[in-house]
Amino acid sequence: MASTRSNGPVGRWLVALVLLAWGAAIVLAPSQAQSPCLETEDGRCVAAPALADDGPRLGARPEGRPTSIAAGPAVLVRRRDAVSPSHFGALLQAGGSAGAQGLGLHGWWRVSPAPGETIEALTARLRAMPEVAYAEEDTHVQASYLPNDPRLADQWALPVVEADMAWDDTMGHDDVWIAVVDTGVDDTHPDAPSDLWWGWDFANDDGDPWDDNGHGIHVAGIAAAATDNAQGVAGLCPDCDLLAVKVLADDGRGWNSDVADGIAFAAYWGHYYDKRTIINLSLGGGYSVAVADAVAYAQSLGALVVAAAGNDGPQEPQYPAALDGVLAVAATDEDDTPAWFSQYGDIAAPGVYILSTVPDGYQYYSGTSMASPMVAGAAGLVWSLDPSLTATGVSDRLLANVDVPTGWNSAYGAGRLNAARALAPEPSPTPTDTATPTPPATDTATPEPTPTFTATPEATPISTATPEPTPTSTATPEAMPTSTATPAPSATPTAVAGPGPTIAPPTIPAPTATTIVALPGAPTPEPYVLTLPLLMLER
């Protein structure tokens, strides 16, 4: 009894401490239960994707959005890996770049010129910093439209790729998501993807990637519009999740920094949520080290990157479609021939008069932008049916099971997409044990052959020099409408990094021997600057 009385106060204190801890947990729980955020190089946070059913994060949408990009010209800079982000940011501040912003892509920053400083002077100043591994001008991206009469044929492309037969096997799975890195998605459309995830708007620096342009929702509808809902059109992978990532403003203009951040954002969160990730890029143009780095990062996390080959006629695909491991998609017409505007690719898909969703209903567009999400949707079906495949395995499955039209030009890829065949590839023939009858023995003597000696001359090795490919300028076909890009102010780009386990993206060299990119543990040569041409969003 004495022992019980002496321990009573101790027990009461323990109970009080437990209750206090429980109360504190209740107070702290709301903030901790919120979605995790991605920390950028400069310590800012970008919220995680959320299902669109939860509504826009901004509440009521504004009546209008900026029609031009608010941020001015800038330089993309990659710090050396030996330099910490905080130290690099302090160095930029001390050097007069007070408005420098860190991207979510590992090591990259966007640096604006100081008042009165030109881009040329800024790049020279950054090149002189020993902490800088690489720099390039942050150039524009821009949409290019090819709309057509909405009263033409319906979705002629779906039976061509045998979508109906593919749907007998699967209509997709929510473990697969297709990230549409574009102008956003209209979540109010009656045919918007059923499983729509709200990502981030890098063009306006907010959490509402709503499509105020029309290109992104058209692309999203081709890949994953709601199906079997007695409305409008059908997407190729309607039961796949779709992630909306906006990198272009409502006028269709944006920056390479936004594109790189959008790719990294989609890849990181796909990995975080254990999704099999397909990233669709219906845009293209010149080479960018930052965008190439983002693509390599996505691939390192297991994502499949699909990109439009370009709309500038028969020539090599534009970037990022031309990057290693990216599935470049050319466009075909209703005659199963390459479209007149299409550039070369790895695979082709219908891209002429493609009906899909737009903000005010439905519309027909043409372009490799329309062909690319068709391949992305088919990839979603393949990955849903066979989750054991890697991204390369999905790509190989699509390439090995195409239709090859008569007279097909292989420069446009292995052939035209066939979704049903990719889901049920023909098995390799199995050898049979058919016995070969043995002829009866005869008593006819067979003369012994007389050996002959034929001298085989030794082959002389021949050294064949392979010329280095010469970069070609993008020519616009005479019959194709062109748009003249006028530099405009742009929205301040935001960035993403990551919560949870740190995942550092690899760095890759540019396609020339003079590229300088810091590699972990390797000496880094002197930095240089690459200025890039305008990127065009293919539509």
Is the model more confident about 12 or about 204? Answer: 204
pLDDT band at 455 (very low <50, low <70, confident <90, very high): very low
Indicate the range of 103-117, 201-215, 246-260, 345-359 predicted with least confidence. 246-260
The domains found in the chain, sorted by start residue, are 142-423 (3.40.50.200)
Q: Which amino acid is at 441?
A: A
Catalytic machinery residues: 182, 215, 369
Summarised one tens digit per residue, pLDDT across range 300-313 is 999 999 999 999 99
Per-residue pLDDT, averaged over 88-97, amounts to 90
- Tell me the C-alpha distance between 253 and 247, whole Å: 8
Per-residue pLDDT, averaged over 13-29, amounts to 47
- Tell me the C-alpha distance between 210 and 64, whole Å: 12
- Tell me the C-alpha distance between 446 and 259, whole Å: 78
Whether 40 and 495 have beta carbons less than 8 Å apart is answered as: yes
pLDDT band at 199 (very low <50, low <70, confident <90, very high): very high
| Residue 142: its H or E element | strand 140-143
- Where are the alpha helices (H) located in 95-209, listed in sequence order? 119-127, 157-160, 163-167
Say what the pLDDT of residue 425 is.
76
Summarised one tens digit per residue, pLDDT across range 216-273 is 999 999 999 988 787 888 899 999 999 999 998 887 778 889 999 999 999 999 999 9
pTM of this structure: 0.72
Summarised one tens digit per residue, pLDDT across range 410-442 is 999 999 999 999 998 766 544 444 444 444 444
Give the angle 476-158-404 at the CA atoms, nearest 5°: 70
**Spatial CA neighbour of 412 closest among 457, 350, 355, 320:** 350
- Taking CA atoms, 424 is separated from 212, 420, 529, in Å, by 39, 6, 48
Q: Which of 39-48, 60-69, 366-375 reaches the highest mean pLDDT? A: 366-375
Residue-by-residue DSSP string for 8-19:
HHHHHHHHHHHH
